[in-house]
Amino acid sequence: MDYQVSQLKEAKRQIESTLHKLKETVKTFKAKENPDRYKSQITLAKRRIEAFSISLFLIDREIDDIEKNN
């Protein structure tokens, strides 16, 4: 599927925003009095952080490829 650079940049912006919120969520859970109680939420957030980080890498690579070919 082909996307325009503007679409990819907007997707990147949205993912970066969500990624920031997820990182703050992990910090909040870890700062709780009993962080082990939130272990599953922390694990889920960390997995999502990893997935979004991969997405950002791939979006950046796609933007670079498009810009090199134009």
Q: What percent of the chain has pLDDT over 90?
A: 96
As a whole number of angstroms, the distance between CA 9 and CA 25 comes to 24
**65 falls within a domain:** yes
**63 falls within a domain:** yes
Mean pLDDT calculated for residue range 19-45:
97
Mean pLDDT calculated for residue range 18-35:
97
> Please, where are the H alpha helices in the chain?
5-31, 39-69
Domain total for the chain? Answer: 1
Instruction: Give the pLDDT score at 1.
Output: 76
Q: What percent of the chain has pLDDT over 70?
A: 100
50-to-25, 53, 67 alpha-carbon distances in Å: 14, 5, 26
Domain limits for position 59? 12-29+39-69
Whole-structure pTM over 0.85, yes or no? yes
**61 falls within a domain:** yes
Instruction: Give the pLDDT score at 70.
Output: 83
